Structure formats: C-alpha cells, structure tokens
Amino acid sequence: MAHVALADKGQELAHPKTWIGAYVWSQDHKVIGIQYIITATLVGLVALALSAMMRLQLGFPGVFDLIQPNEYYSAVTMHGMIMVVFMLTAFFLGGFGNLLIPLMCGARDMAFPYMNMLSFWVYLASVIVLCASFFVPGGATGAGWTLYPPQAITEGSAGSGMGIILMLVSLALFIVAFTMGGLNYITTAFQARTRGMTLMRMPLSVWGIVMATILGLLAFPALLVAAIMMLLDALLGTSFFMPAISDLGEVSSTTGGTPILFQHLFWFFGHPEVYIVALPMFGIASDLISTHARKNIFGYRMMVWAIIAIGGLSFIVWAHHMYVSGMNPYFGFFFATTTLIIAVPTALKVYNWVLTLWQGNIHLNVPMLFAIGFIFTFIHGGITGLFLGNVAVDVPLSDTYFVIGHFHMVMGVSPFLIVFGGMYHWYPKFTGRMLNDTMGKIHFWVTFLGTYAIYLPMHYIGILGVPRRYFAYGSLDSFPDSVHVINTSITIAALIVGTAQLLFIYNLVWSLFKGEKASSNPWRATTLEWQTPDTPPKHGNWGPELPVVHRWAYSYSVPGAREDFIPQTEEPSENTKGDVH
C-alpha cells in the first residue's frame, strides 16, 4: 500500500446533527458545491438581466427608456465581472470542483472541510457586497469590467465613488474565498486520492479543475494587489496608477503614477482567468464526449499535457490584451508569438474531441448535445482568437464588436454550454432524479442557435469598425443604417435566449420533485462518482470501505468486455487485457 488517503487514516468526519448543520453550515463538499451552484446561478441571473437591459437600449434606442448612460455603463461593467468571476469561475471551481473532485478521486470529502465551508460563506459575502453596490449613491461602477484607472476612480465615470470601492472590496473577498477553496481542491486531488487512482488515471474533469485552480492561486494575487493599490489611490490619494491629470477641469493632486501598470497587473490575472474558466470546461467537455460517445477520450495523455502546457503558457500571453494600450509597441512581437503558440495545444484538444467521436457509438443524449454544441462554438471562438492574438490583425479589430463576438463565443457561450451539459449529466447523481429531457432539448436548441444569431453578426459589425461599450450610436457616416437593423435583431435573439434560461431554471426545480427517478449510473459511466453505494451519495460518500481503482477513467467499449464500459473499480480480467491503462 504505497499511498494512504488522508481520509482513510481513521479520523472521523464531523457528521451534522441538525438540519442547519447539514444544509446551511455544512462541511460536506456536495452541499457546499450545491450552495456554490445556487449562488452562482442567482448572481448569473442578475447578470443576465443586466444584459437584457443593455440589449434593449442598443436594439431599441429611445423606445425602451429603461436606462440612462450612467446605468448603462454600470450594467456593462457588472454584467462582465459577474459572469466571468462570480458566475463562471465560482460555478466551475466552487460548484463542479466541490461536487466532483472528492467523488472522482475516491475521497470522503475535501482535505479541509471546515475551510471549504468558510470558502463558500466568504464567497457569498463577496456576492452580497458586489450586489450592494447597485444601491449606493452613484450606483455600481461603470468603469468596464477591466476597471481601468484613472476612469474607474475619477468623477466622469458611473459609480466612481462607493461603486468602485465596493467592487474592489468584493473582489478581495472573492479572492480570499477562492484561495480557501482552491487550496482544498489541489490538496484533495494531490493528497487524498484513493488507492490505485494514479494521476494518469484521473478523469480530465479533475485535471482541468485542478490545473485551473493552480492558475487561480498564481493569478488572483496580481488582481488582489491591483485592487488594494487602487483602493489606496481612491481613498488615500496615492498615485500608483494616477499621473497628474486635469479631472473635468480640476487639476488632480496625484502625480507620477501610470495607468499601464494597472493594466499589466489586471491582465496578468485576466488572461489566466480565461483559462481558469476554460480548463475545467475542457476537462468536463472531454468527459461528456467520451461517456456519451462510449469511447475512450482520444489521446488522453496528450490531453493532460495540453492542459498543463496551456496552463503554463497562459502566464506569458497577457499583454495581447494591450496591443493598443500604449505600452511599448515592441512587446507586440513577443506576445503575438506566445499567443499563437498557445493555439497549438488548444487546437489539439479540439482535434482529440472530434477524433473521440470518430468510430464512436454516439448517444445524442442532452449532455452530448451540449458538448457537441460546445465544440462548434469553441472552434468558432478559438479561431477568432487567432485574429485578436496576432498583433497586426488585432489593431483594426481591438475595442470593436469583433472582440465582443469573440469572447462571448469562447468565454461566454462555450463555458455555459458545458455548465449546462455538466448539469444535465451530473444532476441525477446529486439529486437522484433525471432532468426533463424535452425541456433540456428545447433549452439546448434555443441556446445554441440563438447565441450564434447574437454573436456571429457582431464579428462583422466589428470588422466594419463599430466600437464596443457605446450607449448609443446616433448616426455615423462610417457605418450604414443596416447596423441598427442588425442590432435590433441581435436584441430579439438575446431576449429569446435569455428566456430559455428560465426554462432551464424551471427544469432544475421541477425535476427535483417530478423528475424521473435516476439509477445510480444512468449514463453507464466508468468514473468513480457513478459507483457510490448511495445516490445521492451520503456524507462520506463511500460506505465503510473506500473504493479501489484498477484502471483509467476511459474504459469504454473495451474489446472482449461484456458491457461497453468498465468502472474504474473493476479488477482486471483475462477478457479485457487489451485495456492497457
């Protein structure tokens, strides 16, 4: 016995004695995961509503007089920050990370359950502080989700008083929460795996989440120091990011700081952040595709190394967000090169997903539909990234709707399709009921086709030169009136897609009570979470004995095997010698 999991060394889990202990102040990773998911979903709905307000303004200027410039720019900012950090990051790592890591690794819980619980409550506090900023004088910050100074803290921006301060405090809290959760995810995956679960037998979901967590622990500190420095600039009048300026006619007391420093700090966090969302998405997509195609993931080892390589490279590409920021333009050569290099492992992952389908036995279940939709949107968003990553090509497109189209395809639609796919896939394990299939299919088709109708045209009006973050366009000689027409059509598509998400929420609630009862392994999957003695798994996950792992996570359609899948816990037999891993 080379390796003994921490949870196996005889110490007892603190079983809750009260309802509040079981469901509120819970230390059970599954409950915490669900708490994360519910909170992220609710705050995601806020961000969705904000996008509806923006789209009504852009699609029907002067008709729906819901918001003024002040609120519009607050909405732009809050939509972006909520979706990227408080929704997607929290959902993938806090949500799926909590639910899946211990189960997939064969642990009884996270390595530090109490800290795990604290992680959620601090995250909740960060969300509350963030949402409170809607109600302070001046409203929420309208600096754009990048929070660039000086405008983030000067008079001329929305929410430049309390709004930005609450945003920065909220981010600091989020980072504390993330750190507490993140240390758990990494420690659990590296130290609390059950017997036989070698690193190269781990499901790609765990690989993706763990690597993303490592990126987060390295990247978030840059944001934290940037937030603290900006708080000092805003509250104490320091000049970290503030040169001498004439602020609406009044000479500032600041001098000598540089706004570019903030941009470097922000994107040193901000680019890995893209992969903090993307790597779990890659991992979960791989598992969905493999399970529902009944075929091992193609090139597992390469997939693992690609995750690691992408994670590493993601730290040396950040300034591709800053090609036209006024930084030394010679940096462009370096960052364009590193950025296009990162395209290679990313492209290989796409090939491997598609090659997993090749000669598969594809079951077009709802999770699989979402996974296939994801491959399409990710290819689209990935290749438009090659436009923006290549410095000379980026110049005409930077700060236009092309950028909006690109990152919504790659960082909005793609991860959301995988969030949904993952929810349809794992819901039965954690609730004991299947999600309704019909509602799931409607949700998929409306979301998949609707989002393409939103974002494809955005790329083209971006090439035309239409700038992003405009409250109103009025009439411009440079652009034809058809831009207004497409803006209206984009808004209509967006409202339809937004409504379809409510159907998903309804499905989540309806199925909890009325959904078809789920068996313990409805998708006939190999990984450990489907082999628990109870569905949903009880506190502690595995009866008296921990499972023992004998093979990798992708033993699908092994020649000679009786079934088209072999659980990881099944011992090797003569018939399945061909299963090399």
Partner 1 sequence: MAIAIILILLVVGSVIFHFMSPWYFTELASNWGDIDTTVTITFIVCGIVFVLANLFMAYCIIKFRNKSKDQRAAYEPENKKLESWLTIITSIGVVAMLAPGLVVWAKFVSPPDDAMIVEAVGQQWQWTFRLPGEDGRLGTVDARKISFQNPFGMNEEDPYGQDDILIPSSELHIPINRPIKFNLRSKDVLHNFTVPQFRVKMDLVPGMITWQWLTPTKLGTYDILCEELCGIAHHAMRGKVVVDDDEQYKAWLSEQKTYAQFASMQPGDAHAGKPLYQACAACHGLEGEGNQALNAPKISGQETWYLEHQLSNFKHGLRGSNPEDTYGQQMAPMAATLVDNAAIKNIAAYIQTLPDNPAPHTINGDVDNGKDLYETCGKCHGKQAQGKWAVNAPRIAGMSDWYLLTQLKNFKHGVRGNHPSDVRGKQMELMVVSLNDETMQDIIAYINSL
Write out the binding residues for partner 1, residues 34-73 only, by CB under 8 A: 57, 61-62, 64-70, 73
Residues 76 to 135: which contact partner 1 by CB under 8 A? 76
Cα dihedral 388/322/283/518 (nearest 10): -90
Residues 125 to 154: which contact partner 1 by CB under 8 A? 138-139, 142-144, 148, 150-151, 154
Residues 323 to 342: which contact partner 1 by CB under 8 A? 324-326, 329-330, 332-333, 336-337, 340-341
Alpha helices in 398-436, H assignment, sequence order: 401-408, 414-431
The region of 2-10, 14-22, 107-115, 298-306 touching partner 1 under the rule CB under 8 A is: 298-306
The region of 113-121, 404-412, 449-457, 507-515 touching partner 1 under the rule CB under 8 A is: 449-457
State both tokens at 131: 């949402």
Select the residue interacting with partner 1 from 136, 238, 247, 488 (CB under 8 A): 247
> 121 or 470, CB closer to partner 1?
470
Contact, 270 vs 276, CB < 8 A?
no
Contact between 452 and partner 1 (CB under 8 A)?
yes
Residue type, 55: R
The region of 173-181, 297-305, 429-437, 505-513 touching partner 1 under the rule CB under 8 A is: 297-305
**How far is the CA of 59 from the CAs of 53, 84, 286, 345, 424, in angstroms?**
10, 24, 37, 39, 33
How many chain residues touch partner 1 (CB under 8 A)?
133
Select the residue interacting with partner 1 from 6, 162, 218, 383 (CB under 8 A): 383
Rg (CA), the chain: 24
Contact, 59 vs 490, CB < 8 A?
yes
Contact between 461 and partner 1 (CB under 8 A)?
yes
> 412 or 457, CB closer to partner 1?
457
Contact between 162 and partner 1 (CB under 8 A)?
no
Residues 248 to 277: which contact partner 1 by CB under 8 A? 248-252, 255-260
Contact, 138 vs 163, CB < 8 A?
yes
CB of 131 to partner 1, least distance (A): 18
> 8 or 247, CB closer to partner 1?
247
Contact, 459 vs 490, CB < 8 A?
no
Binding mask 170-209 for partner 1 (x = CB under 8 A): ----------------------------------------
CB of 163 to partner 1, least distance (A): 11
**How far is the CA of 426 from the CAs of 161, 368, 432, in angstroms?**
43, 12, 10
> 49 or 344, CB closer to partner 1?
344
Select the residue interacting with partner 1 from 4, 23, 155, 543 (CB under 8 A): 155
Contact between 486 and partner 1 (CB under 8 A)?
yes
Find the angle CA(278)-CA(431)-CA(420) to the nearest 5 degrees.
30
Cα dihedral 439/441/443/445 (nearest 10): -150
Name the nearest CA neighbour of 76 among 123, 137, 146: 146
Return the bridge partners of 458, or none. none
